[in-house]
Amino acid sequence: MRAVSAVHVKRAFKFRFYPTEAQAAELSRTFGCVRLVWNRALAARTEAWAERRERIDYGATSAMLTSWKRTEELAFLSEVSSVPLQQVLRHLQGAFGNFFAKRAKYPRFKSRKRSRGSAEYTRSAFRYRDGQLTLAKMAEPLDVVWSRPLPEGVGPSTVTVSRDAAGRWFVSMLCEDPAVAPLPPVGTVVGVDLGVTSLVTLSTGERIPNPRHERRDRERLGRAQRELSRKAPGSANREKARRKVARIHARIADRRRDFLNKLTTRLVRDNQAVVIEDLAVRGLLGNRKLSRAVADCAWAEFRAMLAYKCAWYGRELITVDRWFPSSRLCSACGAVRDALPLTVREWECGCGAFHDRDVNAARNILAAGLAAAACGDGVGPQRSTPGGRSSVKQEVVPPPRSRAAARPRG
């Protein structure tokens, strides 16, 4: 496997905090101004291109922001810190850069109800001293719950404050983490087959059962959603019921994220390379019978965690193309079955080999990944399916890039 050189890793440390009434009001105003500036700048850039075929860059939108602050209608933009407003224009510039590079869809407008409130502060807009964080326009430091220490001798370069749908406040501090470095090489490589009953089946034969986090709270969630549906729109009781539903969703997401973090860390630390299958998650979510169970598995989040942790610790992540017949291929003789319904969990090949469906798939994924690495350039041999599609295409996956939001209209 390829050696990965050490890199300086910037890592976000996220903490919960409890603002005072004044701090909450100031942050809420800032979130509203950030959303307003994003929407106005996006509308200006879209209109300029639609009417004049003119591309507006960050400099032009920054000048627009200055002119907006001088108007009577938008004079309140001067009452909040200017740094988050400039940062959102930079984020919009990055979103358009991703769109023009065909890495993402067209940026979309931020909704007051559906968008997560957040604001980013750079070093000139906050003070971090003696374990206390004070933001611009605030007289008192935030009451942060320091659940873990920041790297010693390192200060944050940016601070992002956010509030989730459940009303919880979080601060994310971006720091260089010298503790993140390539791990000592090991001689093991593992193939991973993702599933619903067993979330992960390894080529070693080990099965990791699916915790089914959503199913554990399904009855409680359904009861809270029924209560929400009975509340009058716009009432205070409806807002309380909405918060209750959001808290249940947040609890499910927190448990799922914690489980996936522990699992991916273990896989990366114990293996020099991890081979997974490139599943078409979006297509599977279109299946009405499977969509709820597939969404609860969070396969995309699992793969994203593997990608950045492999990059951090000098490991390699290899993906096998989704058309590779990992379940139908006999890992002993190489014969491919014509069909293998999902209800068939064990099968016997003509060569006499008896296979567990998931373990056999994991072993085939591992073999295909090793073949891809041996061929070079991350591309392995091609096989043809009866439909004429390429069934095997392995590639080494780099860490994922940030993606802009989807375009709302044509």
Distances (CA, A) of 261 to 278, 299, 303, 306: 20, 12, 11, 9
What are the CA-CA distances from residue 254 to residues 183, 261, 408 (Å)?
27, 11, 29
Which residues in 261-276 are b (16+ Cβ under 10 Å) and which e? eebbeebbeebbbbbb
Length of the chain: 410
From the list 26, 277, 316, 321, the catalytic residue is 277
Contact 158, 104 (CB under 8 A): no
Q: Alpha-carbon distance 160 to 174, whole Å? A: 8
CB 200, CB 362: distance < 8 Å:
no
Cα 100 → chain centroid: 22
- Which of 193, 296, 316, 321 is catalytic? The answer is 193
Side chain identity, residue 357: R
Active site residue 177: no
Tell me if 373 sits within 8 A of 397, measured CB to CB: no
Q: Is 277 a catalytic residue?
A: yes
Tell me the C-alpha distance between 394 and 379, whole Å. Answer: 5
- Rounded Cα gap, residues 32 and 30, in angstroms: 5
Closest CA to 93 of 107, 76, 112, 110: 107
Beta bridge partners of 319: 276, 395
Catalytic residue among 26, 316, 321, 358: 358
358 is catalytic: yes
CA separation, residue 3 to residues 125, 133, 181, 266, 304 (Å): 40, 39, 13, 20, 21
305 close to 264: Cβ distance less than 8 angstroms: yes
Q: Which residues have a catalytic role annotated?
A: 193, 277, 358
